[in-house]
Amino acid sequence: MSKKRIQVNFRLDENLLAAIQSQCKLDQLSQSQFIIQALKNALEKEKSDSSSQREANPSVELRLNHLENSLAESLVREQLLSQKLAALEKQLIEELVAVRKELQSLGPKSPQQTLNLEILGDRVLRELHLGKQAPGYKAAKKVLSRFIAELKTQAEIDRGRHETQPE
């Protein structure tokens, strides 16, 4: 069973031809045998590379699906945390409004009452049952601090008005 061979003419760079001739001498092959073997090896390598790519693609697709699922779960968790934070902020604001009304009913504030506001603020933060590193805790503390500062400023204004009013 002999395979029919067809003659092919093509041009090569001089340096490439010299390298082929040199390798042919080392391997004791004709230039035709060397080129045929190199072409077969290249085709076999291409075939093997494309089959391994097809095998790798399911792996890549599985990882991509896993990442997409993880991202979706993270987005759901983020949305739930945002809802919880909004609920905590609403609860905190309601408590602050109630405290403000109670404090306004007590009249002008003394420095001792201002100190009690900070203790009250700490108590409210503890009642939230959040860790000190939680975003909700930090947001609540910031709002409480701003609220207490506003109350102190209002107390100073009220005290100034109270002291300037004739009795």
Task: Give me 133's structure tokens.
Answer: 């590193």
Helix 31-105 / helix 111-127 crossing angle, nearest 10 deg: 140
CA of 82: how far to CAs of 75, 87, 117, 136, in Å? 10, 9, 28, 9
Q: How many CB atoms lie within 10 A of CB 136?
A: 19
* Predicted pLDDT of residue 165: 57
- Per-residue pLDDT tens digits for 15-58: 989 999 999 999 898 998 998 898 898 888 877 776 666 666 67
State what percent of residues in the chain have pLDDT above 90: 7
Tell me what the mean pLDDT of segment 86-109 comes to.
Answer: 78
Tell me what the mean pLDDT of segment 155-163 comes to.
Answer: 70
Q: Closest by alpha carbon to 129, among 140, 142, 118?
A: 140
* Predicted pLDDT of residue 106: 67
**pLDDT band for position 132 (50/70/90)?**
confident
